[in-house]
């Protein structure tokens, strides 16, 4: 391997280290915005950031050493060139490009196969300004020494040399549903050990009654509880990339990790909504909306019915921090409704004669708007749209946010970069994984609106 190739490798390694350090810094900033942040979590993330920072310094020093070595080699080559006898047939003095005693940019005696020239062509199209300068200097030298041999030709004459300009900063990632509902849930730190989270639920409470007479026995009822076992789940995915794609590509590893991270979020969220037995769709009490010609005005009373059920189930445990969770097609269908009716009781933050308000937030950026009674709306496209007899219905969920519990590791999702398992194939294994647990059954309360009234919407303004 040539010194130039080692330098190119060192630059790639430094760029990777800088990216990893920035990810740790971003994670630290995100962690600091968490109101449940503990000092231990913050200290651990700072240590990870500092470790990544130290790796950047180490890679930087390695690159600086190689570049210094290359500079010394070039200096010695120039010194040696001054001691070699001149060629028997030198070009005319005024036909030679000269800058003092400067040698040609690319010299056959130092690089017979032209590897440095090829590397500079590739680096220049990726934005390396130093490589572009060397290529420009080389072309000026060629014009000076062989100007009479160069003719004006188009790029078609050099189909193998005209490098295509790939816009790597504009790559199109795969669209994902991600995790809008999960991000809106009540967050907890997952315990460090164990694969089950146990919660005690009081199922039989005390009794209080009026005393029948003075000194008579007062009411008594033994309390009893039932354990709620919440399994810890593992979401994981992997991708094997060739070493060539990582070392000779532009940002390949970052693109892969970004896709894996978003796929992790999508899997976690869809599990919370749709998992058998414990997913929100399977624990929520149904509120039927059956209508062959559904309208937003007819759907809204069902929303109020569902919210009434939520508070009726929670009683004094109701926080009032309610959410309506729906698919984007349902949210836009509700926005398409037109009418002259409006609620008789005004609500905070809702303009009279409107059916709620749209906050115009992007998908996955939190609350999208509010309903007429002030209930915030979360839009989540992990909600199934193939339900019902016609396999074309979706559902609307109504929940108390404080009773939608999600436990996650503070570092999730984590990733492993393993080189040895695939070393014989020159492959690098990238694995993303995370542990999480969730429940809506600590205080059973959720409601879901479903039925033929929630078939694929038609946007008719009704």
DSSP states along 2-30? -HHHHHHHHHHHHHHHHHHHHHHHHHHHH
**Three-class DSSP labels, 238-285:** EEEEEHHHHHHCCCHHHHHHHHHHHHHHHHHHHHHHHCCCCCHHHHCE
| Minimum mean pLDDT range among 85-89, 214-218, 277-281, 370-374 | 85-89
Q: Looking up tokens 């995790």, which residue turns up?
A: 179
Q: Which two tokens stand for residue 410?
A: 């503070």
Pairing of strands 405-408, 357-358: unpaired
DSSP 8-state code for residue 435 = E
pLDDT value for 87 = 46
Paired with 200 in beta bridges are 227
| Minimum mean pLDDT range among 110-124, 352-366, 421-435, 439-453 | 110-124
Q: Which two tokens stand for residue 164?
A: 């295509």
Nearest by Cα to 258 from 432, 380, 390, 112: 432
Q: Which residues contact 154 (CB under 8 A, 6 or more apart)?
A: none
Q: Which fold has domain 177-207+219-462?
A: Major capsid protein gp5 fold (3.30.2400)
- Model confidence at 66, pLDDT cuts 50, 70, 90, reads confident
- Model confidence at 10, pLDDT cuts 50, 70, 90, reads confident
Taking the alpha carbons at both ends of the chain, their separation in whole angstroms is 71
Q: Looking up tokens 């090829």, which residue turns up?
A: 118
Say if residue 9 is exposed, middle or buried (CB neighbours under 10 Å; 0-12, 13-18, 19+).
middle
Helix (H) or strand (E) holding 208: none
Say if residue 269 is exposed, middle or buried (CB neighbours under 10 Å; 0-12, 13-18, 19+).
buried
pLDDT tens digits, 123-163: 776 667 787 888 788 777 777 776 655 555 566 655 666 66
Q: Looking up tokens 């992007």, which residue turns up?
A: 362
pLDDT tens digits, 310-342: 999 999 999 999 999 999 999 999 988 877 666
CB 237 within 8 A of CB 260: yes
Kindly state the average pLDDT of the residues 2-25: 85
DSSP 8-state code for residue 110 = T
**Angle at alpha carbon of residue 58, lines to 52 and 64, rounded to 5°:** 135
Say if residue 142 is exposed, middle or buried (CB neighbours under 10 Å; 0-12, 13-18, 19+).
middle
CA–CA distance, 2 with 11 (Å, rounded to integer): 14
> What angle, rounded to 10 degrees, do the helices at 115-125 and 3-32 form?
30
Q: Which residues contact 67 (CB under 8 A, 6 or more apart)?
A: 7
6 to 1, 3, 67, 69, 241: CA distances (angstroms):
7, 5, 10, 11, 21
For the chain, what are the domain ranges? 3-81+94-144, 177-207+219-462
pLDDT value for 201 = 93
């Amino acid at each position: 391997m040539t010194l130039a190739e080692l330098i190119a490798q060192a630059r790639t390694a430094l760029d990777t280290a800088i990216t990893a350090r920035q990810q740790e810094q971003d994670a630290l900033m995100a962690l600091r915005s968490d109101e449940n942040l503990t000092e231990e979590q913050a200290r651990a993330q700072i240590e990870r950031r500092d470790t990544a920072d130290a790796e950047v310094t180490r890679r930087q020093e390695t690159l600086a050493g190689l570049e210094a070595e290359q500079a010394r080699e070039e200096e010695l080559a120039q010194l040696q060139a001054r001691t070699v006898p001149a060629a028997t047939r030198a070009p005319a003095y005024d036909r030679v490009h000269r800058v003092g005693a400067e040698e040609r940019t690319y010299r056959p005696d130092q690089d017979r196969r032209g590897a440095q020239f090829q590397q500079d062509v590739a680096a220049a199209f990726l934005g390396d300004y130093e490589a572009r300068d060397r290529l420009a200097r080389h072309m000026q030298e060629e014009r000076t020494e062989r100007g009479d041999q160069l003719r004006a030709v188009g790029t078609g004459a050099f189909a193998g040399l005209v490098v295509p300009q790939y816009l790597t900063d504009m790559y199109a990632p795969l669209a994902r549903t991600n995790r809008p509902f999960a991000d809106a849930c009540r967050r907890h730190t997952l315990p460090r050990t164990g694969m089950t989270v146990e919660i005690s639920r009081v199922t039989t409470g005390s009794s209080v009654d009026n005393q029948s007479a003075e000194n008579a026995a007062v009411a008594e009822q033994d309390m009893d509880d039932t354990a709620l076992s919440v399994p810890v789940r593992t979401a994981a995915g992997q991708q094997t990339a060739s070493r060539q794609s990582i070392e000779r590509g532009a940002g390949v590893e970052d693109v892969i990790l970004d896709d894996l991270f978003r796929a992790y979020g999508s899997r976690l969220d869809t599990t919370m909504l749709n998992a058998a037995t414990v997913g929100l769709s399977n624990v929520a009490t149904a509120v039927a909306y059956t209508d062959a010609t559904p309208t937003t005005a007819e759907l809204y009373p069902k929303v109020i019915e569902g919210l009434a059920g939520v508070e009726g189930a929670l009683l004094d445990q109701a926080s009032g921090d309610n959410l309506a969770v729906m698919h984007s097609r349902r949210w836009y269908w509700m926005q398409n409704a037109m009418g002259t009716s409006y609620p008789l009781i005004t609500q905070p933050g809702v303009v009279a004669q409107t059916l709620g308000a749209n906050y115009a937030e992007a998908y996955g950026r939190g609350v999208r708007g509010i309903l007429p009674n002030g209930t915030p709306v979360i839009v989540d496209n992990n909600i199934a749209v193939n339900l019902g007899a016609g396999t074309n219905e979706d559902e609307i969920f109504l929940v108390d946010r404080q009773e939608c519990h999600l436990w996650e590791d503070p570092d999730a999702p984590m990733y492993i970069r393993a080189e040895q398992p695939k070393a014989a194939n020159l492959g690098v294994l990238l694995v993303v994984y995370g542990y999480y647990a969730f429940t809506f059954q600590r205080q059973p309360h959720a409601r879901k609106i479903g039925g033929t009234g929630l078939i694929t919407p038609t946007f008719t303004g009704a």
